[in-house]
A and B are shown apart, each in its own frame.
Chain A
Amino acid sequence: MEIRPILSAMLRNKTGALLVGLQIALTLAVAANAVSIIMQRVDKMNRPTGTDAANTFFVQSFGFGPKYDHKATVRRDLDMIRALPGVVAAASISAVPLSNSGSSATFGAEADPRKVTIEANYFRADEQALDALGAKLAEGRFFTKEEVEFLEASTSRFAPVVVMTRDMAKALFGDEPALGKQVHDGLGQSATVVGIIDHMLGSWTDWDKLTRIVFVPEVQFGPIARYVVRAEPGMRDALMAEVEQRLSSSDFSRAITLVRSQEEFAARSYRADSRMVAFLGVIVALIFLVTALGIVGLASFHVGVRTKQIGTRRAVGARKIDIIRYFLVENLLLTIAGVAIGALLAFGFGQWLSKVYSLPPLSPIYIGGGILLLTVVGQLAVFVPALKAAAIPPAIATRTV
């Protein structure tokens, strides 16, 4: 391969080569880190929810005035919703998963209040909630209708039985079986674990304890009532409209303040993440575009300047393929130099980012992927001008420019 003459030609125009190399280096540093952040966010937004998120929606009713009867309203609303065709299940629930709003509480495996330190998402729910959320029970059972207590007001009472996620059970009891064990609150009250849910996401999307959830068999006190409704596939949107219409015309001592799908709740909670993905996606796309166009422009320019030189090479016996190869190899050499510096830059930048976000450092996969992509883009970008160069007739060498 004719690497030596290419190298010596490059060394004669050091600045030009340096500029392209630096451009490639910076592109790699930016793209690798941006894509790494994008992937983290996409993974975060796509975490399995453990529920039938696509088919569930939530309703919030807000009672007011002296005529409002919370207990009767909840009973009547749930009876009405459950009787609608297309409803798989409907339940009372105190908070909405992935809504960035809800309650948390602290529990312990021992009665000693100082050892009650394990935080969890805290959901009050009735016996149909598991089904209405579409969550999967791994062990034991969910609540029975008889266990569900109707709360009249805010209270520090602890229910006699709880159902929790496996992650919460692990946080409390380690690898020991949790079923049948007692879980304690900070006030000296305790409850029996009767069921374990395989996996579920709780209230706050940025909370590292999102997968620790405790359910208690209670219907939340008024005047706000929340219901979760699970629809048969394809029925969700129609049911949302129907439920809203029926509930808001059924009673004038309350307002229906929300009818919103689980997906919409999650989308709102993740909006900072989805914005970041959009921003970074645009920057990555543009940086590749600019770099590729720059390579095309520079190579085209060189073809123009070197017309006579190329003609001479053709005249003394170089084939078209040799001319094309010259440009491809030249670009490859620049890319190699560029990505070598770029890999270092990317790691340095990644180090800073991981400090900002307190995340593990940049994975080499993204640098490797970036190198591969830059090589392909560079070769493609230089190919068109190289073809033009190959088309220069040898006869041009005989003319003065």
Chain B
Amino acid sequence: MFSYNLRLGLKSLRRTPGVAALMIGAIGLGVGVCVTTLTVWILMSSNPLEHKNDILYAVTMDNWDPLQPMYPRSPELPPNQVTYRDAMAVFESDIPTRKVVMRKASFVLDPAHAEGLKPFAIVARLATRDFFPMFDVPFLYGGPWDEDQDRAGAPVVVLSKDINRKVFGGEDSVGRTLQLDGKDYKVIGVLDEWAPMPKVYDLTTGAFDWPEEVFMPFEIGIRQELPSSGNVQCWRNQTLNTFGEFLQSDCVWIQFWAELPNRECVERFQTFIDNYAREQKKLGRFERPINNRLSRPDEWMKANEVVRDDNRVLVGLSFMFLAVCLLNMIGLLLAKFLGGAPVVGLRRALGASRGEIFKQHLVEVGLIGLGGGVAGIVIAALGLLGIRRMYENYDALTRLDVSMGLIALGLALLSGLLAGLYPTWRVCNTQPARYLKTQ
């Protein structure tokens, strides 16, 4: 019976090829556009630290201006980075099982031995050694620096896979020397492919930027008095003529994360930083109400507005567009089915049950949905290709994956069937006698 219905359905679609193409095209376009914007939205809002969402916390403290909050639009949020002096004081706590303070700096890399390469600028992440295990950074060769090197700011570096390919041709470069700003650094590790997206560990300069190219101990930047190449924000009227003054200032420029394995740890650490802030109040700092936050990765992404309002609006508009496409399809299907009502009347008069008629039309609707799904996949693939082109020059947001095909097909079938239900129901409820009379 199914194959009979299938044949009837195909025949019916072939009878009005223009309308059939229009319906399939409309569903395909609606689904294609929705899947395209949904994919971008899902990618932007996906949390690469999902598996550690309940143990990692971004540490923030409100040391800002008593006269105005850091973010006038979200006055409840403290600055998204911390000062050096606060970072150092809180870093002393042994409540977190792991903790990292970090920042960015730029260097000139002089690949003296690599033929044909001129010196070029790179961005380095200067971090304490827990950075690697905390954010699950994968190593291809070697490993992170040890605790002594961490504390002493030893001249050691870990390279990204890309920079290792560029400078050392991709070989195991552990033990080799790299010249940065005219000083020698020893390579102790090379990373595997790694680009968390969004870049949750530091959202201050571009949530979809590529990770840094070189990693080295945080202390190096302090000893060499390297300026930050990330965001530095200051509010207090104080002179900043020397690096020492800068380190003691109320300027925020350091990212701080803590690993707190359970509720009790979180509460203890929260109390610890709150007490620290209260102590600082006595010194005339932290003049705002105490507002220190430990934010989980998903909360951190939200506070830093990783998903732009633009993306939300686009998803909303896409679904309205899909609704227009479905209305379109319902109208065409209704007209088509009712146009075929005399035939239905005849079949009913010859003994076909209402259920049979229903099944027959539903198969036809399913065919349209399936066709729309395939068209939707093709259109979504084209859309994503276009987007990839729009993003690839600048952002890491180019890895648009393929599992979206299934979503496209599902969305198309679902919307096709939903849209087909009403016309099918209508045609089943026609009185056979009415059509037989006019014959």
Interface residues of A (CB under 8 A from B): 15-16, 19-20, 22-23, 26-27, 29-30, 33-34, 37, 62-68, 113-114, 116, 153-157, 185-187, 223-224, 248, 252-255, 257, 268, 271-272, 275-276, 278-280, 282-283, 286-287, 290-291, 293-294, 297-298, 300-302, 304-305, 353, 356-357
Contacts and interface: CB of A to CB of B under 8 A. Distances in A.
Contacts of A282: 33
A291 B324 contact: yes
B4 interface: no
B330 A19 contact: yes
B241 A30 contact: no
Given A293-B26, A294-B328, A297-B19, A186 B237 contact: yes
B313 A286 contact: no
Interface in B97-111: 106-108, 110
Nearest to B245: A156
A298 to B, nearest CB: 5
B14 to A, nearest CB: 15
B173 to A, nearest CB: 21
Interface residues of B, number: 58
Contacts of A275: 310, 390-391
Contacts of A64: 107-108, 110, 119, 180-182
A187 B394 CA distance: 39
Interface string B11-49: 000001011001001100110010001000000000000
A37 B108 contact: no
Contact of B121 (A62, A185, A252, A268): A62
B304 to A, nearest CB: 15
Given A64-B107, A278-B390, A302-B335, A290 B328 contact: yes
A283 B26 contact: no
A252 B119 contact: yes
A298 B332 contact: yes
A296 B314 CA distance: 28
Contact of B317 (A113, A116, A154, A283): A283
29 contacts: A19-B327, A22-B327, A26-B327, A27-B324, A64-B108, A64-B181, A65-B110, A67-B182, A113-B237, A154-B240, A186-B237, A223-B181, A224-B106, A255-B118, A257-B108, A272-B308, A275-B390, A283-B318, A287-B324, A290-B321, A290-B328, A293-B22, A294-B22, A294-B332, A298-B331, A298-B332, A301-B16, A301-B336, A356-B312
Contacts of B119: 64, 252, 254-255
Interface in B410-439: 422, 426
A275 B30 CA distance: 20
Contacts of B110: 64-65
Given A23-B331, A156-B241, A304-B339, 9 more contacts: A23-B327, A26-B320, A64-B181, A66-B182, A114-B67, A255-B119, A257-B120, A298-B335, A356-B312
A299 to B, nearest CB: 10
B398 to A, nearest CB: 13
Interface of B: 16, 18-19, 22, 25-26, 29-30, 33, 37, 67, 106-108, 110, 118-121, 180-182, 227, 237-241, 243, 246, 308-310, 312-314, 317-318, 320-321, 323-325, 327-328, 330-332, 334-336, 338-339, 390-391, 394, 422, 426
Contacts of B308: 272
Residue from the set B37, B237, B320, B324 with the largest chain A CB neighbour count within 10 Å: B324
A290 B325 contact: yes
Contacts of A293: 22, 25-26, 328
A272 B308 CA distance: 9
Contacts of B18: 297, 300
Contact of A290 (B120, B317, B324): B324
Contacts of A157: 241
A21 to B, nearest CB: 9
A301 B243 CA distance: 78
A294 B26 CA distance: 9
A345 to B, nearest CB: 9
Given A29-B320, A304-B339, A356-B309, A116 B121 contact: no
Contacts of A253: 182
B73 to A, nearest CB: 8
Given A154-B241, A187-B239, A257 B328 contact: no
Contact of B321 (A15, A185, A283): A283
B241 A301 contact: no
Contacts of A153: 241
Contacts of A300: 18-19
A154 B246 CA distance: 10
Nearest to B227: A154
Contacts of B33: 282-283, 286
Contacts of B332: 294, 297-298, 301
Contacts of A297: 18-19, 22, 328, 332
Nearest to B239: A156
Contacts of A304: 339
Given A187-B239, A254-B108, A257-B120, A37 B334 contact: no
Contacts of B338: 305
Contacts of B239: 156, 187
A113 B238 CA distance: 11
Contacts of A223: 181
Contacts of A283: 33, 314, 317-318, 321
Given A26-B324, A298-B332, A272 B237 contact: no
A294 B336 CA distance: 13
B328 A291 contact: yes
Contact of A20 (B30, B313, B331): B331
Nearest to B32: A286
A276 B119 CA distance: 37
B324 A23 contact: yes
